[in-house]
Structure 1
Amino acid sequence: MHSTIWIVVGLFQVYTHTWILRGAAWQVYLVVILFDLPTIAGSYYLFAFFGLPNIYRGKWLNVFICLAGVYTLNTLSNYLLYGWIANTYHILTSVPKALGHNGFLKVLFGENTLLINWSFTLSSLAVPIAGKIVKDMLMVRTKAAELERDNLKLELNFLQAQIQPHFVLNSLNSVYSMVAGTDDEAGGVLLRLSKLLRYALYETANPTIPLVREVDFLREYIALEAVRQHERTTLSFHHDGPLEQFQIPPLLLVTFVENAFKHGINSTYRQAWAAVRVQTTENGVLHFRVENSKPPPDVRRKAINRPVGVGIVNTQRRLKLLFPDRHTLTIRDETNMFIVDLMLQLEPETLATLT
């Protein structure tokens, strides 16, 4: 698509120069296209991938720097190109005269430079930039529609599954009242399980929740697994940095922890381990890291035919829809361990969009 666009722009340049370079040799047209078209393309990509995103984010200083770069690039191009044409073929001599003969810096800040440069470039840049803006708007609307569709599906699934969790939660509370005071360990497990279920049932209906609640959920989940795994497993959970002032989509992180138990610890009866760390900074950067041991090769071979879950795929899709260009996810399969590294930028505008 980009190649087609630049072919069209190149033909447009040839057309416009047929009356600008009347009677010139064909070599002049070739030099103009080979010199001018890369300048226009460079100006477009500079503005499309640096200027426009900053306009969308309201970072006007960066927009000004981008425009200054485009202006300088086109000024230099015109200064070199039309000076060469005038000196070599003795045509268009009025353009170099208007630009001046006192060096590039004089041209860059000359009073005639702005009119001459933009008259040659804006006509060619207007259509591609307008197309880029329309494409960006369509992509935003498409992502919003996809997100709304997914939210509706999740809401429907939540409503359909609501009766059974209510029944389980009430049953857990009844069993807890029976064992409380007689078996402290069983009572603690039931209490943790009840907290996890209540969180999944009631607090995940909102688009975002406080990050501290998500971290508490992870802590309770790992504590419950620690009781179930007993002595054969070493588990650790740490968090550093502020939590209260940030929001996050619910159940976004737990999938990676679940996989650490499902594909790492629960796949072997031997000693295993897992480590989870949550770090946040004052400006809203969340670093989430999960490391877990790999089962022995003979166990892994037996598990080859195990169905692949969709949890990671769904989480990656949620990250792509909710945090476009604001996250990096790395999953590494190393010799003795699996590593998940997630960097997430919790920006105020992101939170406003989510809520």
Structure 2
Amino acid sequence: MGSDNLWGKWYTPKTRILFHILFWVGVLLLYSFTYERLVGQYYWIFTMSDFVITSSLFYLASYIMPDFVTRGKVFPAFLFFLFAYIYWLNFNYFVCRFALNHIPLSEESLHRYFKIFLKDGYWGVYKLEKMPDFLLDFLYLVSLPLSLKLTKVIFDDAYKLTISERDKLSLERDNLQMELNILKSQISPHFVFNTLNSIYRMAEKLDVKTPDAILNLSNLLRHLLYQTKDDLIYISLEIQFLNDFLDLMKLRYQDSIQIEFNVERTKEPYQIVPLILIPFLENAIKHGPDRSRKNAWVKVELRIQDGELMYNVSNSVNHLAVEHQFGGLGLQNVKRRLDIYYKDRYSLDIREDRESYTIFLKIKLEC
């Protein structure tokens, strides 16, 4: 972005005019040097003739060529080339006629060229047998300025396309980030609502461990407020958050269910998207112990091997209770976030039988 602004500040209309002046001065010097050797003191006539032809075609091409290149208009480009050739033939015919009649030419080859050009009169210049020689002269004259202009048009078009693609990607990133922020903002209220509901049930039973549960909730809220603002956090913080949540669930259910949390910690400073693991654990509680506490259990396994996180969450299933469903705001949210953040770097497998429901999540982590 900085280089774009620098070029925009430097390449002003004034500098553009200066470039054009210097370019055409160079062209005039080239033509003058060439014709001075051929026709002597009358070189300025042919110099100005070629200058008028090339400059007029150059600026005409400047006006219409970008449209041809951008839209790929081959036939209109061919018509322009044909017009330019006919324009050169006509202009050259009258200059040669004037030169042959009024200017003494010392160069025999040039004198012969004029006679060939003027042979058979005005319509003779359009004869097909003369086209190869005339076409070469025409291309030699206009190739330098028009090729430079064509090159600039192609580069400008490519540059605009690059800028357009960059702006498009930037807009897509901004929209994606906005969506991620919305998704992240949905998680916290959803999680807090479920957790407060758990504490409410404890308070309703006058459970003496309710104060401990509230203290545990404060730790969870601290994580939500201060440790989830970044796109990535250390995996150790996310593991601690899971552990605090399970401690709260143990206070709520006490000995009525079995909760197991097995973690193989790593010393590597791997990072993970915040709040990407907790929805699966919430889902296990919601559709396991919350449905039926009879022989209820929740088992969580988390380990990291060769930079890959393996996260398995299982819960008991009672099909005599309300039908089990994998859904809800939290899980729809987390699946969308996995798609956005990790794309092809994660896999999610869900298995269910009559006794258990298990998710297998694998994520390729970053340090």
Question: TM-score w.r.t. structure 2 length?
Answer: 0.46
| Structure with the greater alpha carbon radius of gyration | 2
